Amino acid sequence: MITLRKSEDRGRTTHGGWLQSAHSFSFGDYFDLKHQGHGNLRVINDDIVAPGHGFPTHGHRDMEIISYVLDGELAHKDSMGNGETGAANSGIVRPGDIQRMSAGTGVMHSEFNNLDDRPTHFLQIWIKPKFKGIRPSYEQKHFDRAERQGRLTLVVSPTGADGSVSVNADASLYAGLFHEGETFEQALDPGRLSYVHLARGTLRINGVVLTEGDGALLEGETTLRLEDGEHAEVLVFDLAQA
């Protein structure tokens, strides 16, 4: 079964003239009893941040937080030292990067548009952790466009398989880019849940056409077929039931 979550049906938030956000699931002041997440996927926020602005220092705990930049740059600093001068991780997240922060017992961080001449567009994703109370940690990797073109590439997994970023959750995330004439199929476990988020462009999944910002909740499906893409950038989640 496929349930379409249209872009225009998402919750909307504007803040201080510098943030425009679309919420696939309930978040902050947006509450929708029918859209509280899908399995252990809790949040997909589609954020556009004005130049030089961002989220000041705030705290999280016991959540796996993934940032995926579509355009611009996101500057991240946290209480673990990431983003500080001389740190192992610069904290600058650019298109093609996957950033994962395991909040665990608690972490403070900030996120700002690192550019002064154009907006930054990124997805913030929250996934419920498999184990609570772990030591906070951070990981960031880059995946070239060539790795994602015409296929789904594993970018997040519980074990860091195939060079992916590791996550403290029973969930995996795939990313792909699709143009006209490119077709890709991937087997799905019907005992698990899947969620497709089309970040941009248009794409047909299992015969259903998605446009930019659309999502699709999949239950009981055995195959995912992607085709008829036009400048499509897609994220596909493999999720636990709860």
Q: Count how many Cα atoms sit within 13 Å of the Cα of residue 130 in the half-sphere of its side chain.
A: 12
pLDDT at 88 over 80: no
Q: Give per-residue pLDDT as tens, 209-238.
A: 999 999 999 999 999 999 999 999 999 999
Bridge pairing between strands 193-205 and 215-219: antiparallel
**Residue 121 pLDDT:** 98
Alpha carbons 204 and 31: distance in angstroms, whole number: 29
Mean pLDDT of the chain: 96
- C-beta of residue 237 within 8 angstroms of C-beta of residue 41: yes
Per-residue pLDDT tens digits for 160-201: 999 999 999 999 999 999 999 999 999 999 999 999 999 999
Per-residue pLDDT for 87 more than 80?
no
Give the per-residue SS3 of the chain.
CEEEECHHHCEEEEECCCEEEEECCCECCECCCCCCCECCEEEEEEEEECCCCEEEEEEECCCEEEEEEEECCEEEEECCCCCCCCCCCCCEECCCEEEEEECCCCEEEEEEECCCCCCEEEEEEEECCCCCCCCCEEEEEECCHHHHECCCEEEEECCCHHHCEECCCCEEEEEEEECCCCCEEEECCCCCEEEEEEEEEEEEECCEEEECCCEEEEECCCEEEEEEEEEEEEEEEEECCC
Dihedral of the alpha carbons of 115, 117, 119, 121, in degrees to the nearest 10: -50
Q: What are the phi and psi torsion angles at 7 (to 5°)?
A: -55, -45
**Has residue 129 got a pLDDT over 80?**
yes
Quick one: pLDDT at residue 16?
87
Q: Which fold has domain 2-239?
A: Jelly Rolls (2.60.120)
For residue 83, name the pLDDT band (cuts at 50, 70, 90). confident
pLDDT tens digits, residue range 45-82?
999 999 999 999 999 999 999 999 999 999 999 999 98
Q: Where are the domains of the chain?
A: 2-239
pLDDT tens-digit readout, 10-45: 999 998 899 999 999 999 999 999 999 999 999 999
The C-alpha R_g of the chain, in whole angstroms, comes to: 17
- Record the pTM: 0.96
User: How high is the pLDDT of residue 89?
Assistant: 80
Q: Residue 47: its pLDDT value, please?
A: 98
Look at residue 85 in the predicted model and tell me its pLDDT: 78
Rounded distance, CA 98 to CA 108, Å? 19
- Is pLDDT of 86 > 80? no
CB 158 within 8 A of CB 240: no
